[in-house]
């Protein structure tokens, strides 16, 4: 598996941007043994490889299936200790804030360019999907498929992320837009309140940065409940809210 990652990273092959697969919550479509086995190695160190981080940043992370599946698996394996995802999403939200750098009429054009995905989901590109086989201990596989820790995290922080939910994802017409639906609106020339979208992204970015720093020794325990909730708002913003909302309502 490590060799597979290294081959892809060293190839330098430019692949066309593909449409992201958006799916249900993890428990409705469990990750395959191959996906879980890959995520196990990913959590244990692959995410710290510089080129891996660069690929994730340029592609706005993973597809919705793998983003939520990875978050659920790490929450289960680390019993809710989410330092790795906090670092990743703080990095992605930093990119999001920078994407809103222009002012005036140039902003729409800039966002259409900057919010696009520059490649497919890293895990999908490696060939891992619902039918993938893999060698992994049964107890590790079961834990990696268990959404209980993530579901509890999502539900406990809901009062602090509810106002960030994309109105298109939720179907309620609320002002916030996830990156996917904001990009769709911009490409269609539809009216959208970019000041409100900028404020949303900047708020999630600040909260995500504080939550990430709170894992450090000098700033431990400084995060607020709203900062913790940013770990729900961030993947919801960049990949869509469907799976997260399903997870919050399941059971």
pLDDT tens column, 6-56: 433 333 333 233 334 344 444 446 899 999 999 988 877 666 677 787 888
Q: List, in order, residues 6 or more apart from 18 with CB less than 8 Å away.
A: 120, 124
Length of the chain equals 251
Domain-located, residue 158: yes
The whole domain housing 221 covers 29-249
Asked whether residue 14 is domain-assigned, the answer is: no
Structure tokens at 107: 């902003």
In-domain check, residue 7: no
What is the distance, to the nearest Å, from the Cα of residue 235 to the centroid of all Cα atoms in its chain?
A: 3
Cβ-based neighbours of 25, under 8 Å, separated by 6 or more: 68, 147, 243, 244, 246, 247, 250
Is 21 part of any domain? no
- Residue 5 domain-assigned? no
pLDDT value, residue 205: 97
pLDDT at 36: 94
Q: What is the pLDDT at residue 53?
A: 78
Task: Write the pLDDT tens digit of every residue in 181-193.
Answer: 999 999 999 999 9
Q: Is 144 exposed, middle or buried (0-12, 13-18, 19+ CB in 10 A)?
A: buried
Stretch 107-116: mean pLDDT: 92
Q: What's the pTM?
A: 0.84
The pLDDT tens digits for 137-182 are 999 999 999 999 999 999 999 999 999 999 999 999 999 999 999 9
With respect to residue 99, please indicate whether it lies within any of the assigned structural domains. yes
Q: Which of 40, 47, 15, 25 is nearest to 124 (CA)?
A: 15
Residue 176 lies in a domain: yes
> Is 8 inside a domain boundary?
no
Supply the pLDDT for residue 16: 32
Indicate the average pLDDT of the chain: 85
d(CA 204, CA 192) in angstroms, rounded, equals: 19
Number of domains in the chain: 1
């Amino acid at each position: 598996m490590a060799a597979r990652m290294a081959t892809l990273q060293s190839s330098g092959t430019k692949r066309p941007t593909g449409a992201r697969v958006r799916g249900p919550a993890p428990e409705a479509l469990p990750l395959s043994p191959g996906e879980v086995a890959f995520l196990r190695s990913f959590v244990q160190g692959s995410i710290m490889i510089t080129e891996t981080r660069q690929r994730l940043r340029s592609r706005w992370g993973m597809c919705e299936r793998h983003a939520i599946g990875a978050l659920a698996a790490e929450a289960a394996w680390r019993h809710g200790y989410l330092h790795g995802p906090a670092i990743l999403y703080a990095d992605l939200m930093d990119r999001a804030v920078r994407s809103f750098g222009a002012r005036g009429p140039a902003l729409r054009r800039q966002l259409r360019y900057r919010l696009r995905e520059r490649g497919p989901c890293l895990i999908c590109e490696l060939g891992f999907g619902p039918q993938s086989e893999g060698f992994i201990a049964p107890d590790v596989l079961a834990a990696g498929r268990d959404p209980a820790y993530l579901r509890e995290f999502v539900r406990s922080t809901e009062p602090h992320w509810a106002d960030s939910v994309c109105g298109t994802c939720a179907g309620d017409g609320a002002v916030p837009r996830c990156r996917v639906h904001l990009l769709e609106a911009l490409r269609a020339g539809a009216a959208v309140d970019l000041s409100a979208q900028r404020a949303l992204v900047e708020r999630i970015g600040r909260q995500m940065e504080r939550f990430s720093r709170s894992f450090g020794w000098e700033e431990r325990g400084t995060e607020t409940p709203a900062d913790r909730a940013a770990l729900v708002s961030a993947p919801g913003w960049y990949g869509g809210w469907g799976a997260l909302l399903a997870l919050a309502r399941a059971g």
